[in-house]
Amino acid sequence: MKGFAARLSAEQVKEMEKKPGFISAQPQRILSLHTTHTPSFLGLQQNSGLWRDSNYGKGVIIGVLDTGISPDHPSFSDEGMPPPPSKWKGKCELNFTTKCNNKLIGVRTFPKENGSPIDDDGHGTHTASTAAGAFVRGANVYGNANGTAVGVAPLAHLAIYKACDSTGCPSSNILAAMDAAIDDGVDILSLSLGGFTKPFYNDAAALGAYTATERGILVSCSAGNSGPTNSSLSNEAPWILTVGASTLDRKIKATLQLGNKHEIEGESAFHPKVLNSTIFPLYEPGKNEHESTERSYCQDGLVYNSNGGKIVLCQVGGGISRVGKGQVVKNSGGVGMIIINEKGDGITTFANAHVLPALDITYANGMKILAYMNSTKKPVARITFQGTIIGDKNAPVVAGFSSHGPNLASPGILKPDIIGPGVNILAAWPTSMENNTNTKSTFNIISGTSMSCPHLSGVAALLKSAHPNWSPAAIKSAIMTTADTVNLANKPILDERLLPANIFAVGAGHVNPSRANDPGLIYDTPFKSYLPYLCGLNYTNQEIQSLLQRKVNCSEVKSIPEAQLNYPSFSITLGANSQTYTRTVTNVGEAKSSYSVEIVSPPGVSVIVNPSTLKFSKLNQKLTYRVTFSRTANSSTSGTAQGFLKWASNRHSVRSPIAVVLV
C-alpha cells in the first residue's frame, strides 16, 4: 500500500504518527484547473517531419488527469488506431452505450464513489483532444477557426483519470489517480491543474510526479494563470515539465466602431448568422452614484430597463465568466457586450463563444471607450465581425495570464521550463456552443496554461515514440535546448506589453517540436541525483521521506546545491563570491562531432566555460563541462539579469538559458 485518504481528527493523526512504518500525513488541499490551427503553427505536417518520424505518437499512452471525458466525441474515434500496447493494465469504467476503444483505452474516476467519469465541465475533454485527438474535419465555433481539428499526437492512446470537477481537484484524488496511472502503464502524464507554490513534500502533483518519473513517465503540468506577477508559479519541481502559455498567429477579429468614428479592435468567437451593422447606445453599469460598483462586473441582477437595446460594458472578474456575463446581459435585454480586460492582461484578448454579439478588448482600449462615453451625452457604437485572420507576425506572445518565475519552491531551478500555445485554442467540447443538437462534432475555444500543457504532453508523446529509450529528463532536455527564442518576425519573443519577454516568463523559449526530435546533445538528469538535491534544499529527513516513500538520512548523503542538478538551464543567486557548477551532456546526434561554446553573459556577470570545445567520438558518449559565474567590476548591486550559453556544431545548436539574481 502506497498510501490512503481518510477523514481524521488532529488527535487521530498524532496517534497514527506513533505507528511503525508511518512516513507522513498531508492535509487535503483543493487545486484549481488551469484553463486548432496549433499543429500547423508548431510545424507539424502530415507525412513529413516529426509526425512521420514518430508515426503520429503511435504506441504511446498519454494519461490525462482532469474533469473526465466525453467518450462519444469524434475526436476520440479509434479509426486507424492499433490496439493498446501489451503493457497496458488499465480499466474502463464507462457504463454507457459508448465504450472504450483503441483511442480511449482507459477511463477511471477518483474516488470511484463520485460516480460517472463523463465530463460535465468541458475542461477534460478539451485538454485530452488537444494532446491526442483524432482528425476531425469541419471543426469550428460559429464558423470561426474552421478547419480540421487534430491533437498533437493523433495516434497516441488516451487514458482518462477523472480527479476534478468544476469546483477543483482534491489532492487525495490527484494522488490516487496518479498512482493508478503509474500502475496502469502510461508513458506521459498531463496535469492541467495546480495551486500556489508549496514545498515539494506538501505538493500533491510533485509527490505523484516524483514516483512517476522514477518509473520512466514524463509529467507535464501547467505553470498557472496568475501572471504576469513575478513568482506566481505552480508545479515548480525539477522532475516536472512546467509549461507557460503563449499566443498563436491566429486572431478571430471583431471591431467596435464608436460614434466618433474611432475603431477598437478585439476578439470574439461569436459570429451572427445575419450581420447587423445597427448603431446602439453604449451603457456602463455601476457608473451612476445610486448603482453598486459591483454591477460593472455584469453579475446577476442587472435590470432590463438599464440594458434594454444597449451595448453593455462589462469589467472582467467579479466571480463570473466572460460567457456568463454575456448571458446576464442578454437576459436583461442587452443587444451586445464589450468585455474590458484587466490591465495586467496587456494585449492578450480572448475569442470566447459568446451568446450575443460581443468582443473582448484590452484595458487600454477600454479606457478609450470610457473616455469617449464621458465626452458625449449619447454615446453609441456598433460591433462588426471580421472572422478568422491568420498571420500575426508578433506570435508567439507570452500570455498576460501565464505565471512567471522566479521559482519560490526552488530558486536554483529556472521555471517555467517552456511556453506553448495556450490562447484561444479550439478543441473538443461536450456540447455545442451554438445549441446545435444535430451533431456530436462540438468544439469550443478557451485559453489558459491548461491549454498549453496538453500541447507539450503531445509533443513529449511524439518524442517518446520516436526515441523510446529516452528518459523523461532526456525528453525535457530536447524540448528545452531546441526552443525558439524569436517570433515569426525573427524578433525576440514579446510579452503582454509588447516588450521583450524576460527569462522568468518564457523559460527556455517556445517549443519547436521538429528541432526537439534532433537535439544533438541532451542533459539527462540521473534520477539518483534528486536525493542530494533535496537534501541541499535543507528539507528534514521526514519531509524527504514523504516524497521518496522510503527512509532517508541526509547526514549520509553528499548534498548538492540546486544549480548543480544536471538541468538544461541555469538559475543562480550570485553574491560577491564566484560559483562553479558542472553539467554533463550526452551525444545523441552525430557519432563523430565537435561542439564549441558560445556565451552571451548576463549583464554584470562573467561566465567562463571550461572546456570551450566538446569532441565526441561515438553516440551516447557523455562529456562534462564546468561553468563559473562571477560578478564583473561594473555589476549592479541587485536585480536580475539573463543570458545563455550554447553548444554549437555544424548541424546542431544546444541552448541553455541563464537567469541570475544579483544580491
431-453 pLDDT, tens digit per residue, is 888 777 667 779 999 999 999 99
Partners of 218 in the β-ladder:
188
**What is the per-residue DSSP string for 227-243?**
TTSTT------TTEEEE
Per-residue three-class SS string for 110-126: CCHHHCCCECCCCHHHH
Mark whether 66 is an active-site residue.
Answer: yes
The mean of the pLDDT values for the chain is 91
**Does 534 map to a domain?**
no
State the residue for C-alpha cell 528518459. Answer: 471
- Residue 341 resides in a domain: yes
In a domain, 3, yes or no: no
The 3 state secondary structure assigned to 268-303 is CCCCCCCCCCCCEEEECCCCCCCCCHHHHHCCCCCC
- Together in a domain, 207 and 276: no
Residues 482 and 620 in one domain: no
Sign of CA dihedral 647, 648, 654, 658: positive
Residue 435: per-residue pLDDT: 74
The question of whether 559 is a catalytic residue gets the answer: no
Q: Of 349, 369, 390, which residue constitutes the final position of a domain?
A: 390
Query: Helix or strand or coil: residue 160?
Result: strand
* Domain boundary residue, one of 369, 390, 411: 390
Indicate the residue among 364, 390, 416 that finishes a domain. Answer: 390
Tell me, yes or no, whether 237 and 257 share the same domain: no
Query: Amino acid letter at 390?
Result: I
- Lowest mean pLDDT, pick from 45-49, 67-71, 216-220, 531-535: 45-49
Q: Can you point out the beta strands (E) in 19-156?
A: 30-33, 61-66, 104-109, 136-141, 144-149
| Residue found by looking up cell 493508478 in the block | 180
Residue 543 in domain: no
Q: What is the pLDDT of residues 516-552, one digit of tens each?
A: 999 999 999 999 999 999 999 999 999 999 899 889 9
My answer on whether 73 and 221 are in the same domain is: yes
The answer to whether position 309 is within a domain reads yes
DSSP line for 480-528: HHT-B-B-TTSSBPB-TTSSBPPHHHHTT-B--HHHHTS-SEE----GG
Q: Do residue 61 and residue 178 come from a single domain? A: yes
CATH code where residue 313 lies: 3.50.30.30
Statement to judge: residues 368 and 450 lie in one domain: no
- Average pLDDT (575-598) is 97
pLDDT reading at 12 higher than 70: no
Give the tens place of pLDDT for each residue, 91-148. Answer: 998 876 678 999 999 999 998 776 789 999 999 999 999 999 999 988 888 888 888 8
* Phi, psi for 360 (deg, rounded to 5): -105, 125
**CATH number of residue 605's parent domain:** 2.60.40.2310
Count Cβ atoms within 10 A of the Cβ of residue 18 and give its class: 0-12 exposed, 13-18 middle, 19 or more buried: exposed
> Could you tell me if 220 and 80 lie in one domain?
yes
CA 531/CA 187 separation, integer angstroms: 23
Q: Which domain range does residue 636 map to?
A: 565-662
At residue 258, the pLDDT reads: 96
**157 annotated active-site:** no
Do 183 and 275 lie in a common domain? no
Range in 30-44, 221-235, 348-362 the model is least confident about: 30-44
Under 8 Å between Cβ of 626 and 618 = no
Model confidence pLDDT, tens digit, residues 464-496 = 999 999 999 999 999 999 999 999 999 999 999
Question: For 386-418, what is each residue's pLDDT tens digit?
Answer: 988 999 999 999 999 999 999 999 999 999 999
- The catalytic residue among 34, 73, 123, 455 is 123
Q: Are residues 243 and 192 in the same domain?
A: yes
The one-letter code for the residue type at 143 is: G
pLDDT at 33: 43
CA distances from 115 to 14, 94, 96, 163 (A): 32, 10, 13, 11
Choosing from 66, 121, 165, 360, the catalytic residue is 66
Answer whether residue 454 shows pLDDT above 90. Answer: yes
Tens digits of residue pLDDT in 298-311: 987 766 667 789 99
Statement to judge: residues 317 and 401 lie in one domain = no
Do 425 and 378 lie in a common domain?
no
d(CA 132, CA 473): 22
Q: What share of the chain has pLDDT > 70, as a percent? A: 92
Average pLDDT over residues 545-562: 92
Same-domain pairing of 371 and 419 = no
Catalytic residue among 172, 450, 452, 465: 450
Does 644 fall in a domain?
yes
Q: Are 443 and 252 in contact (CB under 8 A)?
A: no
Percent helix, percent strand, percent coil in the chain, to nearest 5: 25, 30, 50
SS (H, E, C) 488-500: CCCCECECCCCCE
Q: How many domains is the chain built from?
A: 3
Between strands 61-66 and 157-162, the pairing is parallel
Whether 386 is in a domain gets the answer yes
Q: How far apart are CA 203 and CA 536, in angstroms?
A: 18
CA distance 202 to 219: 18
Q: Can you give the pLDDT at residue 32? A: 47
Least confident of 209-213, 243-247, 503-507, 545-549: 545-549
pTM across the whole model: 0.91
Let me know if residue 529 belongs to a domain.
Answer: no
CATH code for the domain of 230: 3.40.50.200
pLDDT at residue number 165: 80
